[in-house]
Amino acid sequence: MSSLLFPFFWNNTSLFILDQRKLPFEKEYIKCDTYTDVIKCIKDMVVRGAPAIGVVSGYGMYLAVKNYKGKNFKKYITKVADEFISCRPTAYNLSYVVNRIKDFLLKIPKDKLDNEILELVFKEVEKIKKENKQLLQKVVNNGLKLLKKNSCVLTHCNTGVLACGDIGSALGVIIEGYKNKKVSFVFVDETRPYLQGARLTMLELISADVPCCMITDNMAGYVIKEKKVDCIIVGADRIAKNGDTANKIGTYTLAVLAKYHKIPFYVVAPSSSIDKNISTGKEIKIEQRGEDEVKYINGKPITLETANVLHPAFDVTPAELITAIVTEEGIFKYPYNFR
C-alpha cells in the first residue's frame, strides 16, 4: 500500500486524515487542528475501521489538551472523552484509547498541565500507535496459520491498512497469505451502503496485485456455493467476553451462510477490540446511522424521498457461528471465554 494512502499522519502541529469517502478516485487529506475536527472526521466516516479510529482519537485527545484554556481541566477532559466515545459507539478500540488517555490525564495535578505534560501525552499517543502496529503484525502471523495452501477467500468491508493504520487485520492476513501462496483468489463483498469493499478493499488488493473479484452483498450465497470458497475472513469492531462479535452490517449473514455450507468463518482482530466489560453481544450498542446514507449514492437518490429506511451500521454474529477468533495472543476456538 502506497504511503500516499496511509489513513492519517501527524505533521508538526496538526493531524491529517485521508478522506476515505472519496477513494478510490480522489486522494485528499483533511487537516485537523482541534479535537472537534477529529470527532467530525470520525463521525462522518472520513476515517473508519476500529483500530484506525482508535489511534486517531488518541491524537484528538492530544489536540484537546493542547488547546485547553479553561479552569476545570478534569471536567473538560471527561467531557471531551465522552464526546469521542459517543461519536461512534460500537467500535471498542475508540473507547479503549480515549479512556487510556483520559485516565493518564486525570492523574495529573491541575497545576502541572504544562509543555512537559503535553509532551508526555503526545508520547503516549505515539506509543499507542506503535503498539497497534506491533499487535497487528502478530495478529497476521497467527491468522496465516489457519490458511490452507491456495485458498479461495471471501471477505467483507475493509480491514486493511486503511482501516487499521498499518498492515491490517483480516485483509492483512489475506494479502500476506497471497504472498505466502496460501491465498489464490479473493471475493470481496461491495459492502453497502458505504461500499467499503468496493472502494477500499478492492483498491488495497489491486495495489498488492492480489487476484480478486468484487461481488454485490447478495451474491455471497451464490459465490460460496458455486465458486468453492474455502473460508470467510472478517474483522471486528467489538467482541464480547463470550465471543459474540459486532462487525460491519452483513457479517452475520455471511456467518450463517458459512455454517450452512460447512466452511470456516474466521474473525481477525487485535485484542484491543475485545471488550471484557461485557458478557455477550446483547450488551453491544449498535450504531444507527442516517437514512440518507442508504437513500443516496454520490448525491443521487435511488429510492423515493418518502421511503422509510433502516440503517444499522453493524450486526452481531453469535459466537457459536465463529470457527475461530484470531488475535495477537493466539487462535481461539468456540466456546470462547475472554478474560
Within this chain, do residues 164 and 303 fall inside the same structural domain, yes or no?
yes
Within this chain, do residues 180 and 317 fall inside the same structural domain, yes or no?
yes
pLDDT band at residue 3 using 50, 70 and 90 as cut-offs: very low
Pick the catalytic residue: 237, 244, 275, 315?
Answer: 237
Within this chain, do residues 273 and 129 fall inside the same structural domain, yes or no?
no
Within this chain, do residues 101 and 177 fall inside the same structural domain, yes or no?
no
Within this chain, do residues 36 and 64 fall inside the same structural domain, yes or no?
yes
237 is catalytic: yes
- Please write the tens of the pLDDT for every residue from 174-223: 999 999 999 999 999 999 999 999 999 999 999 999 999 999 999 999 99
- Please write the tens of the pLDDT for every residue from 223-273: 999 988 999 999 999 999 999 999 999 999 999 999 999 999 999 999 999
- Residue 275 cell numbers, joined: 471488550
In contact, 153 and 233? CB cutoff 8 Å: yes
The pLDDT, as a whole number, for residue 115 is 82
Within this chain, do residues 216 and 320 fall inside the same structural domain, yes or no?
yes
Domain final residue pick, 102, 137, 172: 137
Report pTM: 0.93
Within this chain, do residues 125 and 39 fall inside the same structural domain, yes or no?
yes
- Please write the tens of the pLDDT for every residue from 138-169: 999 999 999 999 999 999 999 999 999 888 99
The pLDDT, as a whole number, for residue 163 is 95
Domain final residue pick, 87, 104, 137: 137
Within this chain, do residues 131 and 147 fall inside the same structural domain, yes or no?
no
Q: Which helix (H) or strand (E) is 248 found in, with range?
A: strand 245-248
Report d(CA 281, CA 238) in Å as an integer.
Answer: 9
Report d(CA 120, CA 204) in Å as an integer.
Answer: 35
CATH number at residue 313: 3.40.50.10470
Tell me what percent of the residues of the chain surpass a pLDDT of 70. Answer: 98
- What are the residues whose beta carbons fall under 8 Å from the beta carbon of 149, sequence distance 6 or more? 181, 182
In contact, 52 and 7? CB cutoff 8 Å: yes
**Of 5, 26, 25, nearest in space to 17 by CA:** 5
What total number of domains does the chain contain?
Answer: 2
Residue type (1 letter), 2: S
b/e per residue, 38-47, with b = 16+ CB within 10 A?
A: bbebbeebbb
- Residue 163 cell numbers, joined: 482501516
- Please write the tens of the pLDDT for every residue from 87-98: 998 888 899 999
Domain final residue pick, 137, 166, 195: 137
The pLDDT, as a whole number, for residue 168 is 94
Within this chain, do residues 99 and 206 fall inside the same structural domain, yes or no?
no
Tell me what percent of the residues of the chain surpass a pLDDT of 90. Answer: 85
Strand order of the β-sheet with 330-333 is: 212-215, 183-189, 151-155, 231-234, 265-268, 324-327, 330-333
Within this chain, do residues 307 and 329 fall inside the same structural domain, yes or no?
yes
Residue 171 exposure: Cα atoms within 13 Å on the Cβ side: 31
- Residue 268 cell numbers, joined: 481477525
In contact, 216 and 209? CB cutoff 8 Å: no
Parent domain of 72: 3-137
pLDDT band at residue 117 using 50, 70 and 90 as cut-offs: confident
